[in-house]
Amino acid sequence: MQRRESLSTGSTLVWVPHEKQVWKKAQVIQRVSEFEVEVSLVTDDASDAHDPEDGIVKRYDVREIAKLAGEVSATAMPICNTFGKFGVPDMCTLNHLHEPAVLKNLQLRHALYVPYTYTGQICIAVNPYKWLDLYRKDLYGKYLELPRGDLPPHPFALSSSAYIDMQENGIEQSILVSGESGAGKTETVKIMMNHLASISGGGDHGSLVIDQVLKSNPLLEAFGNAKTKRNDNSSRFGKFAQLQFNAEGLLVGARCETYLLEKSRVVGQAEGERNYHIFYQVFSLAHEIKKTLLLDGSVGDYTYVRVGEGSRVDDIDDSEYLQETKDAMDTIGIDYREQQGIFEVVSAILNLGELAFKAESSDTSSVLSVDRLQAIGKLLQTDDGALQRILTNRTMAARGETFTIPLNAAQAEDLRDAFAKGIYSQLFDWLVARVNNAICSTHRNVKHHIGLLDIFGFESFDHNGFEQLCINYANEKLQQKFNSDIFKTVQTEYIAEGIPLELVSFEDNQPILDLIEGRMGLVDLLNETGVLAKATDAAFVGKIHEAFSTHKYFEKLRTNPMQFKIHHYAGDVIYNGENFLDKNKDTLPPDMLELLASSKSPFIRDVFPELTHDKPNKPGRRQGFLVGATIANSFRKQLGELMEQVAKTTTQYVRCIKPNANKSAREFDRQMVVDQLRCAGVIAAIRISRAAFPNRLTLHEFGKRFDVICPPKLRHAAPEAMVLGLLEKLGITDSSSQNAKFAIGKSKVYFSSGLLQYLEEQRTAVLRKQAILIQSHMRGRAKRKQFLAIIQATRTIQKFVRGWIARRRWHVLCQGIPQLQSVVRGFVQRRKFRVLLHKARECNRLRMLAEANAQLALSVQNHVKRESEEAPIPPRAPPTPTALGSPYFNGEIPDSPKKRYPMQPTSSAVVSAKVRDDMAKSVEEAHAMAEQARQAAKEAMQLNAALQVENEQLKAKLTKNAREYADEDLRQENERLRAQLAMLQSKIIRADEVALLSAKVVDSRLTYRDGKQFVEYKLQIETNNRGTLFVWHRYSTFRNLATTLQTKNGYARKDIPELPNKTLFNNFTDKTVQERVEKLNAFLDAATKADYLQWGIRIDAETCVYKRRVKGSTSGTSSYRDSMMSRDTMVTAIPTGGFSPTNSEHSRASISSGPSSSKEEGSSLLRRSFFGRSKR
């Protein structure tokens, strides 16, 4: 195998066989040869799950696929159809009709709870395993009034069609319902019977007949239905119910015929199955009635009903169904005396199963359980001695003489079982006769019948015996009728379309029927072998091997000489010839019949009337009790009569399908459904319906689908001209010969096998070329669109990258701005400082200048004074400081520390008024500059104050941040200490719990509880604080304890003693039990002293005593407490409030002074620290 990743989307989809899914979709890659094709597996459209096989390329033989799919041609591939959500209601409308298409359509409809689908005139019913709202009475009239195609598929459509055809054309009708056990055959028949009974009416008499007809179903189900592995209410007999109608179409009566009751179920059932329902319903009778019936036990006390061990069925109340059975008896007209007689016969059969025999010698036997024999005689009202004689002896007649042959114990048991089966079979036939007497109309006004056949479907098991041969023989007969009807349907369609009938033919299954029922066939050879004195099953199988060694449908198996194979229409079945002769016998010894006919009970004599009169026996099933009659003969005769009746009717078919074996409403087992479709003949019907022209299309669909390969001039032509022109262009022109490739009808065109597939291949090739062109344009468009998207995405990415870069630069700038601001602020401050410094220096210069001026003035004054002293001149007062300007010089400027130099005296002529004015002006300027210097000093003081405020703010912020960081560290430390405290507190609590010091077993006993027996042992347990405790424990407790110690603590399994359980307890002596208990005590003592072991024993619902594992020292409790105290003294109060220097210092002081704190104070502080407040 190889895997191919990509395939052309225009490839043809086909179905190929699959191991798990039966059929799986695949794409055709190429035809390797004429008979070999290469495909790639693909996922089904309806499947969401990924299949690992999807994409795998495989090769298949086309001939094998065509044979499995039901294709007519040996080289035709099953092409996939296109389905809607609900599939198609009629599968004949599918363009490609084959097995995978049928399976796919049924699966789609089952998933949506649509159980019914048509295949032409066949209705396929898939059991939904849930009651659907599809059977309302308002639908009765709709299906009777509206055309079949206007409503969804339904059994009502079949019953309505049968009723209308009977009314309008006066033709007898029959509806054949088949399917395997559990597929819903009986329910489908009841649904259609209810519908027919309701739409036919009939007034008061009709209502009574309807009630009797409907009530006959639960009565026959009670005596003919049983629980099997596949179905809780499986019909173990075939039933053909004929509803009787008068000329006006009113229901006036009914008649029921039964076939092949499974008598062997009376005396034995497979595991998980039950006997017939009535055997369980009698146990629901009142206690007084059961006492009269001599039923002194429950279901589990009787062999015939406990063999299969399936006496109980979920959701089935036998008492409720018993009342329904009794109501049906009342409706049918079975009086109290007859009902009592029926229950007596059922009880007699149950007591027969308890009848045991003992061997008197190697060839003789006698009844061992005499009380059971007397009970049977009382119930059947026969002589006990005669009953014992006929059960232990066999009577034979030869040459006019009668011989009595004694039987051994085994032969007597076989005769007892045969007696029970014969009684029950005759009771069932009597019930059927009573039902017919009650509901069958004997008046001449019965004009029409509608028959409903409920019969077993085709069966093929691992072991197939006589019963399966009879059932499959009946299905072969029905299939022959089915094939004939389907062929007639095809003929009708071809006539309507104007197609010559000589083009149609089909293969019959008559050779298989000749093999079974023909002259010297299987039935004749079986009867012939059975009459021989020393006949054996091996002799019978040898005869058929010799007679049919060259037969086309028979095969001898070399692996087992007792087996043979028959090629049935539904598949090959291997039969085992063992017990064929015994099962074919339908006789009872004459003395048994005489005993029952001579019963004192009128009811028994009525049930067994054969020997009460010296008259020839009546025909029917009661001939089965005559010597020489065989089941195969009687069944062949019944089946022939049935087919004669059905052949006179218009027949419709319902095929019931079981979707899964789990009775699930959702599950759909594809393999199981396919097997049933093949067994039901649906695939064979498809093969017949499509024998000549397996594929068909309406003319409109043909033109719509294949116009792409038509020449342009034909695309607008008439449909017939388009078909002829296209096929002529492809080289296919012959449509009238016997080997015609196609045929054109009035509304459809029919294709021979392979032609439609050839047209599909041509269409696929054209579509593939166009698809490649479209794909190239779409890929180019997609690439261009992708390129534009990439350009747009690139621009978007660039935009975001540019934004990211800008934001990153902004963040860098934001981080540099504080540094720049600090530099700028420093620069500004330095500049201001330089201005202030310059002003200060200027003030100093002005002060020095003022001092110099003062010195000059003083010198001038002194000089003037000296001159005045020498030559008196009017004195002039020197300028005062106030006169010189501002009071700034009032002692605020200290004297200049510089050295003063004497000045040379100046003549008075030099000092003039102009000089004095200049000096006064200089003093004024010095005063103004001093004022400016003072203002600058004031501004400098203000700037210094602002800088101090900013410094204080930064200092406060730094202090706050430091406090927050310290609070977070303390909070984390507080949380860590809380966790440690919680752990230590849990250890103290655990150290104070009840601890196990020693344990030993002191007593043992057997106890009963809820009907069960247990072994219990009494334990004496010594604890640390609860004293001595006593408790009883079951045996399982010690087994669990031993397993725990073994798996978790490494204790050697061989050292654990095995105590006696409930099985061994009674078999051991007291000494043995005591020795085991002593060993257990030694084991418990060792397990208690071992420090590495940990285990516990439950005392009551609230107390469990543990023996803990010790780590290190054995004084675990004191170590835990010492550890707790040391931790408690080490960890003191940690405040939960905000950080402050005071709190921080207090915390450090508290931690450093830990050992000096008292235990009570430390604990109180610890609680305050962890819980926020003190708890007293």
The active-site residue, picked from 174, 186, 601, 1004, is 186
b/e per residue, 39-67, with b = 16+ CB within 10 A? bbbbebeeeeeebebbbbbeebebbebbe
Active site residue 182: yes
**Cα of 70 vs its chain's centroid, Å:** 33
* Residue 1046 near residue 1057, CB atoms below 8 Å: no
Write down the residue that tokens 């004191």 correspond to: 1118
Active site residue 8: no
860 burial level (CB within 10 Å; 0-12, 13-18, 19+): buried
Active site residue 181: yes
**Cα of 684 vs its chain's centroid, Å:** 34
The active-site residue, picked from 160, 188, 194, 231, is 231
Q: Report the distance separating Cα 492 and Cα 391, nearest Å.
A: 62
Amino acid at 374: Q
b/e per residue, 156-181, with b = 16+ CB within 10 A? bbbbbbbbbbbeeeeebbbbbbbbbb
Torsion of CA 935, 936, 941, 942, to 10 degrees: 80
Residue 616 DSSP class: P
The active-site residue, picked from 344, 459, 493, 517, is 459
The active-site residue, picked from 11, 117, 234, 660, is 234
Active site residue 457: yes
Partner residues linked to 652 by β-bridges:
175
Per the annotation, does 182 bind a ligand?
yes
**Beta-sheet pairing, 996-1009 with 1012-1023:** antiparallel
Residue 28 DSSP class: E
* Residue 1087 near residue 1045, CB atoms below 8 Å: yes
Residue 471 CB neighbour total at 10 angstroms = 20
Break the chain down into helix, strand, coil percent, rounded to 5. 55, 15, 30
Per the annotation, does 181 bind a ligand?
yes
SS (H, E, C) 374-424: HHHHHHHCCCHHHHHHHHHEEEEEECCEEEEEECCHHHHHHHHHHHHHHHH
Work out the widest C-alpha separation in the chain, in whole angstroms. 216
Per the annotation, does 179 bind a ligand?
yes
Amino acid at 312: R
Per the annotation, does 476 bind a ligand?
no
Q: Report the distance separating Cα 390 and Cα 398, nearest Å.
A: 18
Residue 124 DSSP class: E
Per the annotation, does 84 bind a ligand?
no
Per the annotation, does 1114 bind a ligand?
no
Strands (E), 637-677: 650-657
* Residue 587 near residue 575, CB atoms below 8 Å: no
The active-site residue, picked from 105, 235, 630, 752, is 235
Residue 870 DSSP class: H
The active-site residue, picked from 70, 120, 182, 238, is 182
Active site residue 459: yes
Amino acid at 80: C
Among 518, 695, 538, 938, which Cα is nearest to 69's? 695
**Beta-sheet pairing, 365-367 with 393-398:** unpaired
Cα R_g (the chain), whole angstroms? 57
Token digits for 109? 């409809």
The active-site residue, picked from 12, 181, 217, 472, is 181
SS (H, E, C) 50-117: CCCCCCEEEEEEHHHHHHHHCCCCCCCCCECCCCCCCCCCEHHHCCCCCHHHHHHHHHHHHHCCCCEE
The active-site residue, picked from 457, 530, 577, 1162, is 457
**Cα of 187 vs its chain's centroid, Å:** 27
* Residue 123 near residue 153, CB atoms below 8 Å: yes
Write down the residue that tokens 């905000």 correspond to: 1138
Per the annotation, does 308 bind a ligand?
no
Count of residues making up the chain: 1176
Partner residues linked to 235 by β-bridges:
225
Residues annotated as catalytic (active site), given as ranges: 181-182, 186, 231, 234-235, 457, 459
**What are the binding residues for ATP?**
179-186
As annotated, the binding site includes: 179-186
